[in-house]
A = this chain, B = another copy of it.
Amino acid sequence: MKKFKAHTSTCPIVHTMTYIGGKWKPIILGRLVNGAVRFGKLAVQIPDISRKILAEQLKELEEDGLIIRHSYNEKPPRVEYELSGIGQTVIPVLMAMTELGSEMHEAITKHKRSVTRAH
């Protein structure tokens, strides 16, 4: 996703999308709501994300200050990610998305069936 020009915009939703608009970011953040999680565990818990994209998105989230990366100097490596203070301000959005998800998925599935039938 090409970066928005957040500084030139006055629309708050554009700002939000600038920071959590990546395809996987809300899903990653959602996994961190209950505490720190290791890289490998995120890769397993999030269906269909590739390790490359996971690593990229985590790096962006860290650079924006939404998450904190804890690297323990061990071999094999152990790295944990957790929400920062800024990251926690996103929780209301994540909750709203969580509440919406199943409900909307059902409604849209039904809608599409009816449209198909009406052909």
Q: What residues make up the interface of A, taking CB atoms closer than 8 Å to B? A: 1-2, 4-6, 8-9, 11-19, 21, 23, 26-27, 30, 46-48, 63-66, 86, 89-90, 92-105, 107-108, 111-112, 115
Q: In the complex this chain forms, how many copies of it are found?
A: 2
Chain B nearest Cβ from A91, distance in angstroms: 9
Q: A1-B23, A11-B27, A27-B11 are in contact. Are A16 and B97 (CB under 8 A)?
A: yes
Nearest residue (CB) in B for A5 is B48
Nearest residue (CB) in B for A25 is B17
Cα separation A64 to B112 with both chains bound (whole Å): 7
Nearest residue (CB) in B for A23 is B1
> A96 contacts which chain B residues (CB < 8 A)?
92-93, 95-96
